[in-house]
Amino acid sequence: MCLPVGFLLVVLCTQSDGRYLPNFEKVAQNVTVTKGQNALLTCHVTHLGGYKVGWIKLDSKAIQAIHTHVITHNSRVSVQHFAPSMWQLNISNVQAEDQGPYMCQLNTDPMRNQVVYLRVLVPPEIELMDNRHEIIIPEGSSIKLGCRAKGDPHPVVRWHREDGEDICIRAPNGERLRFAEHKGETLKLDKISRLDMGIYICTANNGVPSMTSRRIHVKVNFNPVIHVPSQLIWSHVGESTTMECYVEASPRSINYWIKGDGGHISKNGSKYSESEIRESFNVKMVLTIHSFHQSDVGKYRCVAKNSLGEVEGRIHVYESQARPAKTATKTYENDDVIYEDEEYVTEVEVDKANLLEAQDAHQKQLSTESSWRQPSNKRSQGQRQCDISSSSWLFAASALVLVAHVNMSSR
């Protein structure tokens, strides 16, 4: 007699010796695979006789196969039978939706079954929260970077800077602290400075190969700033004289030199040569005067201009009547300040009146031109923070030192 069985299995009714009803030979083993791999779900049945083996996905109640016939319309599913007792459900190119419990069922009365659980590990995936790979913001504003991660197990997201610099995060008390990395799907940067500019990388890892990452380039715009390490220069007739200006600017600035109140110094010809050394938002401007002549004495200006503003630095060039001298350690006194030079190799002999005149002119210049000399943000001494006070090599240049002495009594 034919008896109905669970899950609408259509079976062929046969006579079987009741002493040998089919049974499961082994305990079914759960299966764990990574997305994209193949999964083999196995059950071992003894004394099957004329009974049938069926596979059902329990959470959806979908019949996968009956005996050697595939019922589902999923083309990735197949069945295999290896004599005498092994039955396998094969799922190729496993996807996340294939995860769940599968029943290996025998159409006995009462029904006998085993459940095999298929666990699908999904490698991490990252989705940018605002879908931007480059962000441009003004200095002093705040920004939130976000990477939304998914996968199974759920991934852990971490942030770091591509250039290896620390990430600066503002604490609740307002202090800006440094971290090599930040954990979490969002990274908030408050009152951002030019030192925060760079590429930020978020990585997601859940232990399933392979780890994935996304890059976000943060660009910070600010007005140009110029620093002039030597604002007074003496040169000998016939020699080459070099002057330098250090620029910070973003967006990238247009930089050029002006002599006196005239136009741009021409790059063509043999009199002047210009060069620039760029590193991130820093630029070192160099102007060289070849075969110095008395007509080259005067004021020179280095100018930096971008879409946010324009700034200039000034350098005064004077003729010097220096003569070579033997290497010696000398101490020079200028007003109330004493300068010592242990490797002094040139004795500068200038007319004292000309020197005092140059110093007086320079002091008047400093009193009227200050906007370009110092950056706006200053670092508090001893505070562990990420302010703009110590920007790489730009402000590492030494301060202006005037070493000149005339020993009138020795003449």
Q: What is the pLDDT of residues 155-169, one digit of tens each?
A: 999 999 999 999 999
Per-residue confidence band for 321, with pLDDT thresholds at 50, 70 and 90: confident
Q: What is the mean pLDDT of residues 102-108?
A: 96
| Pairing label, strands 232-235, 309-319 | parallel
pLDDT for residue 404 is more than 80: no
Q: How many CB atoms lie within 10 A of CB 35?
A: 17
Q: Out of 10-19, 303-312, 351-360, pick the least confident.
A: 10-19
pLDDT for residue 122 is more than 90: yes
Per-residue confidence band for 267, with pLDDT thresholds at 50, 70 and 90: confident
Domains and their CATH numbers in the chain: 6-121 (2.60.40.10), 129-222 (2.60.40.10), 228-410 (2.60.40.10)
Whole-number pLDDT of residue 363? 59
Cα–Cα distances (Å) from 308 to 211, 218, 305, in that order, read: 41, 18, 8
Cis-peptide into 84, omega within 30 deg: yes
Q: Is 119 helix (H, G, I), strand (E, B) or coil?
A: strand
Q: What is the pLDDT of residues 201-217, one digit of tens each?
A: 999 999 999 899 999 99
pLDDT for residue 399 is more than 80: no
Whole-number pLDDT of residue 172? 84
Indicate the DSSP class of residue 92. -
pLDDT for residue 388 is more than 60: no
pLDDT for residue 282 is more than 50: yes
Tell if the pTM clears 0.75, that is, is over it: no
Q: What is the mean pLDDT of residues 354-368?
A: 55
Q: H-helix or E-strand containing 354?
A: helix 352-368
User: 146 near 135, Cβ under 8 Å?
Assistant: no
Distance, CA of 29 to CA of 114 (rounded, Å):
10
DSSP assignment string, 38-75: -EEEEEEEES-TT--EEEEETTTTEEEEETTEE-SS-T
User: 111 near 9, Cβ under 8 Å?
Assistant: no
Per-residue confidence band for 343, with pLDDT thresholds at 50, 70 and 90: very low
Radius of gyration of the chain from Cα atoms? 40
